[in-house]
Each structure stands twice: as C-alpha cells, then as structure tokens.
C-alpha cells in the first residue's frame, strides 16, 4: 500500500513514495479497443498515453485482442497487453464493434499481479466485460479513474435512446458511481452525466486534444485540381463517421441554397459509415450529386491534413456531440468552422474562429455557410482557430491535468468513502475493549494497512 504520496520533480516526473522505495507512477488504461483500431476514444488513449509517458508516467493498456494484433507490444512507449476476446458487429445500432471478453477479470488479475499497477484508468462505460475492472479495484483497494467520453445516450435516435438508456440503467450508472475520480471531455458532458444525480464537483473537465505541430496550415492547391475545381471555387469539407448522429442529411439539405449563391461550390465528405448509401440517394434526389464528393475514409493523419489544407470551410452539423475532436483537427489545419450549437461544440467554436447554428436546421446552416464564404478574411478566421488549439487543446496540458487527477485519487484511496461508512457503523457497535480490537483489525483490512 502506498502510504503517501508524491514527489513532482522537474518535467512532472511522477514518483510514488512507499515505505521502502520510490517508484514511477504505474497506470493501467482499460478499454475493449485500442490502436490500431481507430476511433475517438482509442485515439485519445494513444495520444494521452504518449503524453503521460513523456511526463514520466509508466503507462500500460489492457484491451481486447483483435485479429492481426500482437498479444503484447510497446507502442509509443505504452506497454500494451491484449487478451482473448470476441468481436460482435451490430449494424446500425452499435457504431464500433462490441467486444466480448468473459474471462476479462481472470486475465486482469494475472497481469496486475505481475505488473503491480498503482491505479486503473477506465475509458468509457459501454463494454460490459471491461467495466468489471471496478470489481478488481474493490478487491485490491486500488483507485479507479474513469474518463467519460460520451454523455447520456439521449437525443441521437429513438433506438439509441431506448437501448442506451436500458444499458445505463443496468450497468452504466453503476460504473459511473463506482469510480473514485471522474474525468469529462467537456463541460457539457459533465453537466449531462451529472443528471444521473452525480454531484458536479466529482468531475474534472479535461478537454480532448491533438498535437497541433502534426498539422500544417499551408494551402494545398492540388485538392481542388483533382476535383476539377478552380482555385476560387468554394470547397466545403466534413470529416467523421457517416452515421445519423452527425447530421449530414441537414448539410445536404442546405447545399442547394448554398449552390444558388455559389454555383461552383462542392462538398467533400471524408469518412465511411452506415448512412453513406442513404446520403448518396438523398444527394441524387436533391439534384446535387455533382457537387458532393464521397471520398471514403482517410486514417493517415498527414494525408487528412493535406485534404483539409485544400478546402475553404469545415462544416460539422452534428445533432449530438460530447466534444468534436475532428473540429480541432480542422482548426489546427487553419480552417474556419460552421457547426451545430450542440453538446460540447460551443466550448470549441467561438466567434473568433467560426459560426454556430441551431442543430437540425438546414436553413440556418445554409445561411451560416453562405455568410462564411462571403467573408474576405476567412483565412484569418481559420488561423485564429489554430491559435486556440495550440493554447487550449494540447496533450501536454491534458496530461498534466490528468496527473493531478491521479494524485488526488491515490491520496484519497479507493475505499475511503465506503470505509468511513463502515467505521461509523463499527463505532455504533463498540461495547467492550475486545470490540475495539476487532474494529481495528477490520479497518486494517479495509485500508490494507500492514
């Protein structure tokens, strides 16, 4: 048991002080999916993990073993442990694959026995087997930190709301309430999840981030050339998973109005998903197929940056978005933004770097796009966004704030709250000196005091 505490040396090199020795802080991320699977949460884990390693933290990941991946490896200084799991795809309902691992606890116990982690950091609550890390934390009296990447599943679609709410009732809420420290990726996410009767002071808001130096703002004229466009022709761009949640149908509905003002404009859609075919049919029905380019997925960051550098305006009309990582990637590429005023997006897009519109409103979206394209200082507005990213959404800042959460979790310990309840109960039961001795033994066991 770590008696206390921390020494924060130069460069945030974190040390734990035990009775006999000093050790670097050893953290274990837990999630069903990890790199090379590419998703918002998985990218967050990779980038945050690397940033924590640079700050002197030893970072491990326990995740499901997908086909073609190694059982153990080190990626960007992060030690990855993959355990046997099955992948189940539920088309249209569950965007990432559902990863099932019935023996998760067994593997977790073996790995922890060998590595002796100081605390566990769970990313998300949507993979039931992996949320059982909370049970292991109860057994070992180790702190559990939970990053909430998603808010309540309300307002996306009737199916998501129904099944998501049922899951929250059965499992999700228990996972949230079992964590010793909660991290939310935006203030809106915190406020929304707090509606589960969780006090807001239990949350620490740590924004998602990117490495801005990996994104150039240099204009790329080749993009418009390949699309048969002139340099002066407006090119809009959208990036993400092509699913209902992203509100793309409203963007397509807005495009005919935009084309009346800017007849040579085009929309570049980068991404794949379950709504792609439906949207292609919608574009054809609206008579705008020639103005919409379905590019497909682009997972190479350098190539994606190059595509963004060839565009004039990033448009993001999501109807539900806890944060919006692709927005800050576009901002880092020097693009101004038109986005829906929903979820955590207003915490990213400001009047200095873009425009916000009512969600699910194609008319408002069209007006904002036209307004933006008429601006002669559009490039300057985009570069303002780059400055915001560099200052507010960088991984060094996120890593330092995460370390402060780890410090708090370790100082408090895992069972202080529940142990206090037990202590009060024991106090009411004390009648004789023998009862006092028994009580001390019980408290030692609770706090694992040697």
Mean pLDDT over all residues of the chain? Answer: 89
Residue closest to 132 by CA, chosen among 87, 90, 83, 194: 83
pLDDT for position 163: 85
- Distance CA(169)–CA(219), nearest Å, equals 49
> pLDDT tens digits for 319-372?
999 999 999 999 999 999 999 999 999 999 999 999 999 999 999 999 999 999
pLDDT for position 48: 98
pLDDT for position 172: 94
pLDDT for position 263: 98
Residue closest to 186 by CA, chosen among 392, 25, 17: 392
Question: Do the Cβ atoms of 41 and 31 come closer than 8 Å?
Answer: yes
Cα dihedral 406, 201, 183, 142, rounded to 10, equals: 40
The string over 101-116, giving b where at least 16 C-beta atoms fall within 10 Å of a residue's C-beta and e elsewhere, is beebbebbeebbeeee
Q: What is the DSSP letter of 253?
A: H
Beta bridge partners of 75: 78
With residues binned 3-state (H G I as helix, E B as strand, rest as coil), the percentages for the chain, rounded to 5, are 45, 20, 35
pLDDT for position 92: 56
- Distance CA(318)–CA(357), nearest Å, equals 11
Beta bridge partners of 226: none
pLDDT for position 7: 38
pLDDT for position 192: 96
Per-10-residue mean pLDDT, the chain, length 450: 41 46 80 91 96 97 95 98 90 72 97 97 96 96 96 81 89 95 97 96 96 95 97 97 94 98 98 94 98 95 96 97 94 98 96 96 98 97 97 97 96 62 54 62 47
pLDDT for position 381: 97
Strand pairing of 14-17 and 22-24? antiparallel
Place of tokens 């406020």: 191
pLDDT for position 155: 74
Residue 1 burial by CB count (10 A; 0-12/13-18/19+): exposed, middle or buried? exposed
What are the strands of the beta sheet with 203-205, ordered from one edge?
Answer: 72-75, 78-84, 58-65, 26-30, 119-123, 144-148, 181-184, 203-205
């Amino acid at each position: 048991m770590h008696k206390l505490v921390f020494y924060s040396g130069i460069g945030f090199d974190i040390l734990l002080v035990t009775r006999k020795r000093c050790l670097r802080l050893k953290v274990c991320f837990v999630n069903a999916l990890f790199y090379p699977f590419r998703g918002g949460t998985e990218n967050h884990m990779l980038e945050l993990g690397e940033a924590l390693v640079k700050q002197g933290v030893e970072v491990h990941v326990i995740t499901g073993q997908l086909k073609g991946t190694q059982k153990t490896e080190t990626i960007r200084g992060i030690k990855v442990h993959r355990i046997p799991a099955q992948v189940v795809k539920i088309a249209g309902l569950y965007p990432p694959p559902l990863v099932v691992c019935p023996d998760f606890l067994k593997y977790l116990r073996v790995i922890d026995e060998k590595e002796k982690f100081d605390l566990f950091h769970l990313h998300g609550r949507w993979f039931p087997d992996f949320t059982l890390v909370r049970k292991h934390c109860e057994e070992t009296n180790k702190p559990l930190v939970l990053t909430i990447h998603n808010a309540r599943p309300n307002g996306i679609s009737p199916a998501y709301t129904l099944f998501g709410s049922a899951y929250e009732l059965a499992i999700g809420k228990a996972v949230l309430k079992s964590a010793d420290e909660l991290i939310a990726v935006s203030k809106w996410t915190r406020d929304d999840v707090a509606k589960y009767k969780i006090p807001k002071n239990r949350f620490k808001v740590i924004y998602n981030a990117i490495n801005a130096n990996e994104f150039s703002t240099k204009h790329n004229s080749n993009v418009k050339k390949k699309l048969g466009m002139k340099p002066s022709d407006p090119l809009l761009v959208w990036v993400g998973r092509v699913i209902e949640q992203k509100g793309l149908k409203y963007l397509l509905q807005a495009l005919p109005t935009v084309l009346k003002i800017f007849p040579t404009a085009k929309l570049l859609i980068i991404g794949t998903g379950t709504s792609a075919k439906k949207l292609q049919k919608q574009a054809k029905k609206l008579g705008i197929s020639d103005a919409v380019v379905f590019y497909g997925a682009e997972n190479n960051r350098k190539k994606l940056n190059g595509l963004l550098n060839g565009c004039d305006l990033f448009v993001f009309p999501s109807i539900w978005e806890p944060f919006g990582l692709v927005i800050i990637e576009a901002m880092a590429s020097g693009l101004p933004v038109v986005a829906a005023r929903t979820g955590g997006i207003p915490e990213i897009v400001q009047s200095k770097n873009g425009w916000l519109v009512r969600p699910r409103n194609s008319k408002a979206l069209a007006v904002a796009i036209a307004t933006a394209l008429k601006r002669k200082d559009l490039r300057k507005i985009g570069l303002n966004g780059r400055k915001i990213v560099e200052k507010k959404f960088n991984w060094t800042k996120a890593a330092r704030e995460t370390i402060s959460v780890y410090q708090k979790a370790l100082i408090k310990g895992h069972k202080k709250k529940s142990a206090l309840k037990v202590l009060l109960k024991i106090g009411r039961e004390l009648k004789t000196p023998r009862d006092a001795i028994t009580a001390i033994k019980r408290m030692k066991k609770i706090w694992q005091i040697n």
